[in-house]
């Protein structure tokens, strides 16, 4: 499936090329017929035809490189999701490239610190197309699962949260990486719940991670807006395990109770009690 975008792209380039060829043939035929009718010199007609050909070739080259720049990284990312080795990484920097797909999906450059199991950590960069709803999941400081090419370690793909359900499980390393994220988050949540300050919060985003704990109870990543009693409202993220029967209570727009660390407001835990 990783080459689906590549195949679609090749079909698109083929169709566009065929269209340009037909259009060029029409222009050349019009130039020749019009030139003869206007009694133009044969050299003038040839010159006009050459200009038309050069213009169409130039447009074809521009189209090809624009397509490669926009979709090439995504095709490579799909390949890595299928064939790469699993690791975890910390997002160091996210830069908007200024490009968008379909005027909706921004293309961003992400700098990562990749930590392959049993190997030294290293830094790498990659480009990815993201849904605007996924922007909170691609922020500096977050730990994310990735896939990398062991022969070319600089080739890295970030596994989006919505993809974990399909990518995780294709190998034990993937499952281990994702489960470690949930276990680590659960441990941190327990600490915050013991000593944190209570508050109400509104759920902005609820993204299942594709992992179930102790039965059909999903691990969900939440984006929250927290409303402390004595402080200004702020936003934060957390991962929580939700009982299957309670899932309707933990949807975007719902109000929940949380506890947060007043010394570090990035540490927030949903209080199920």
Is the predicted pLDDT of residue 98 greater than 80, yes or no?
A: yes
- Average pLDDT, integer, range 37-51: 57
- Which tops the pLDDT comparison, 178 or 207? 207
H helix or E strand, kind and range, residue 55: helix 42-83
pLDDT at 13: 46
CATH 3.40.50 for domain 175-270, yes or no, is no
Res 2: pLDDT: 36
What DSSP letter does each residue of 158-217 carry, written as one string? E--GGGHHHHTTSSHHHHHHHHHHHHHHHHHHHHHHHHPEEEEEEEEEEEEEEEE-SSS-
What is the model's pLDDT at position 111? 94
Q: Which residue has the higher pLDDT, 173 or 221?
A: 221
- b/e 104-125 (16+ beta carbons within 10 angstroms → b): ebbbbebbbebbbeeeeeeebe
Model confidence at 90: pLDDT above 80: yes
What percent of the chain shows pLDDT beyond 90? Answer: 21
Note whether 52 and 71 are within 8 A (CB): no
What b/e readout covers 12-38, taking b as 16+ CB neighbours within 10 angstroms? eeeeeeeeeeeebeebbeebbeebeee
**Angle between the 42-83 and 4-37 helix axes, to the nearest 10 degrees?**
180
Distance CA 135, CA 159 (A): 13
Which stretch of 28-32, 77-81, 104-108, 132-136 has the lowest confidence by average pLDDT?
28-32
pLDDT band at 71 (very low <50, low <70, confident <90, very high): low
Residue 82 has pLDDT above 70, yes or no: yes
pLDDT in tens, 215-248: 888 888 888 999 999 889 999 888 899 888 888 8
pLDDT top residue among 39 and 247: 247
CATH of the structural domain 84-159, one choice from 1.10.150, 2.40.50, 1.10.1740, 1.20.120: 2.40.50
Q: Phi and psi for 171 in degrees, rounded to 5? A: -165, 150
Higher-pLDDT residue of 242, 14: 242
Nearest to 109 by CA among 92, 124, 89, 94: 94
pLDDT at 176: 53
> What are 186-220's pLDDT values in tens digits?
888 899 999 999 999 999 888 777 788 888 888 88
* Overall pTM surpassing 0.85 (yes/no): no
Mean of pLDDT over the chain: 75
Domain ranges of the chain: 4-81, 84-159, 175-270
- Which pLDDT value is given to residue 51? 65
Q: Do domains 84-159 and 175-270 have the same CATH topology?
A: yes
Q: Give bridge partners of residue 264 from the DSSP assignment.
A: 261
């Amino acid at each position: 499936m990783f080459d689906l975008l590549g195949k679609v792209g090749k079909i698109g380039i083929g169709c566009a090329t065929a269209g340009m060829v037909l259009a060029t043939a029409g222009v050349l035929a019009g130039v020749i017929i019009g030139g003869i009718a206007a009694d133009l010199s044969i050299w003038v007609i040839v010159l006009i035809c050459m200009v038309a050909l050069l213009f169409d070739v130039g447009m074809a080259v521009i189209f090809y490189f624009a397509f490669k720049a926009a979709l090439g990284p995504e095709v490579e990312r799909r390949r890595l999701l299928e064939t790469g080795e699993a690791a975890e990484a910390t997002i160091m920097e996210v830069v908007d490239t200024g490009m968008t797909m379909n005027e909706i999906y921004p293309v961003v450059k992400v700098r990562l610190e990749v930590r392959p199991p049993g190997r030294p950590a290293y830094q790498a960069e990659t480009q990815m197309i993201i849904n605007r709803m996924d922007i909170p999941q691609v922020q500096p400081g977050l730990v994310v699962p990735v896939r990398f090419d062991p022969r070319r370690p600089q080739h890295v793909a970030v596994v989006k949260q919505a993809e974990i359900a399909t990518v995780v499980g294709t190998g034990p390393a993937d499952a281990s990486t994702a489960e470690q994220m949930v276990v680590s988050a659960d441990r941190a949540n327990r600490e915050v719940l013991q000593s944190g300050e209570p508050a109400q919060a509104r759920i902005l985003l609820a993204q299942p991670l594709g992992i179930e704990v102790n039965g059909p109870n999903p691990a969900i990543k939440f984006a929250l807006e927290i409303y402390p009693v004595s402080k200004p409202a702020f936003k934060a993220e957390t991962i929580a395990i939700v009982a299957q029967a309670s899932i309707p209570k933990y949807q975007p727009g719902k109000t929940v109770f949380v506890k947060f660390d007043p010394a570090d407001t990035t540490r927030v835990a949903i209080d199920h009690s």
